[in-house]
Amino acid sequence: MSRVSVTYENHIAHVRLTRADKMNAVDQDMITAIIAAGEEVMASDARAVVLSGEGRAFCAGIDITGLAKMVGVDPKGQLMPRTHGNGTTNQWQEVAMIWQRVPMPVIAALHGPVFGAGCQLALGADIRIAGPDMKMAVMEMKWGIVPDMGGMVLLPKLVRPDVMRRLTYTASPVDADQALAWGLVTELADDPMAAAMELATQIAGKSPSAIRTAKRLMALAETADADTVLMAESAEQAELIGKPDQMEVVAAAMQKRPAVFK
């Protein structure tokens, strides 16, 4: 059964969750489909990615019927093997973390409930644009479990430690304004899909090599020491400048400079 669609237009990959009748709740088929979509986009020549959900929600969280099936089943056997992400993630974690490894920028257009698994999927994007009706929640505590789909990697990069704890301990939804104030989303828009596509179009107009290099470099900067990052800056820049096609981009940009800078 189809759970995700992937379309391409103007160098933008649009990845849609299509289980609208269930508010895009994540079941096993959705997990498989999201990972497959990420792998497809990763191998494509897209320059930007937009993640969205059809219907009334971006993603209302895990499908509870699927969660119930795990009760009484060996949890370590399901959760501990590193089956994805070059041996770094299990399949549930890969749902969010694959978008961190996708080499081009990923923009999530958020509306309605963005709960639990949906919240962690959204956090895997580079940029999140939320509509006025969006509500976000780290929902796992409601079911007596903890965030385990990459949330404990992604949340500390975005919010203060006390905010992360409040979200996790309470499982309480926050509205779009509060999510913006706490750093969970990047910006608000009356039409988050239109805003996401506009931003994706802007990014897709930049040098694909430079954009991919910037994403890779910024990911390193979030975890590595200063000396490592400084060396990577130099190495990545040297690689870019050494490409013939990149020099054409630089030359064209120089021609467009305002006269005061010439």
Summarised one tens digit per residue, pLDDT across range 20-66 is 999 999 999 999 999 999 999 999 999 999 999 999 999 999 987 76
Residue 135's nearest CA partner among 165, 162, 114 is 114
Backbone angles phi, psi at 48, to 5 degrees: -155, 160
| Predicted pLDDT of residue 261 | 46
Which DSSP symbol is given to 112?
S
Q: Which residue has the higher pLDDT, 246 or 261?
A: 246
| Predicted pLDDT of residue 254 | 55
| Predicted pLDDT of residue 210 | 95
| Predicted pLDDT of residue 247 | 59
Give the integer Cα–Cα distance in Å for 60 and 119.
8
pTM assigned to the model: 0.90
Residue 94's nearest CA partner among 164, 46, 42 is 42
Summarised one tens digit per residue, pLDDT across range 160-214 is 999 999 999 999 999 999 999 999 999 999 999 999 999 999 999 999 999 999 9
Dump the DSSP string for 19-86. -GGGTT-B-HHHHHHHHHHHHHHHTS--SEEEEEE-TT-SB--B-HHHHHHHTTS-HHHHHSS--BTT
**Average pLDDT rounded to a whole number, residues 216-244:** 93
Summarised one tens digit per residue, pLDDT across range 107-166 is 999 999 999 999 999 999 999 999 999 999 999 999 888 899 999 999 999 999 999 999
> Strands 113-115 and 174-175: what pairing?
unpaired
Residue 92's nearest CA partner among 37, 27, 138 is 27
Domains and CATH numbers, the chain: 4-204 (3.90.226.10), 208-261 (1.10.12.10)
Taking CA atoms, 43 is separated from 13, 101, 124, 198, 243, in Å, by 11, 11, 18, 23, 21
Q: Which residue has the higher pLDDT, 242 or 187?
A: 187
Token representation of residue 13: 């990959």
Q: In a 3-state reduction of DSSP, which class is residue 109? A: strand
Residues 177/188, Cβ–Cβ less than 8 Å? yes
Tell me which H or E stretch contains 176: helix 176-182
Q: Cβ atoms within 10 A of the Cβ of 7, count?
A: 10
Residue 96's nearest CA partner among 61, 64, 63, 70 is 61
Residue 105's nearest CA partner among 11, 36, 190, 246 is 11
Give the integer Cα–Cα distance in Å for 100 and 39.
12
**Average pLDDT rounded to a whole number, residues 214-222:** 96
Tell me which H or E stretch contains 115: strand 113-115
pLDDT-derived band at 79 (thresholds 50, 70, 90) equals confident
Q: Which residue has the higher pLDDT, 42 or 73?
A: 42
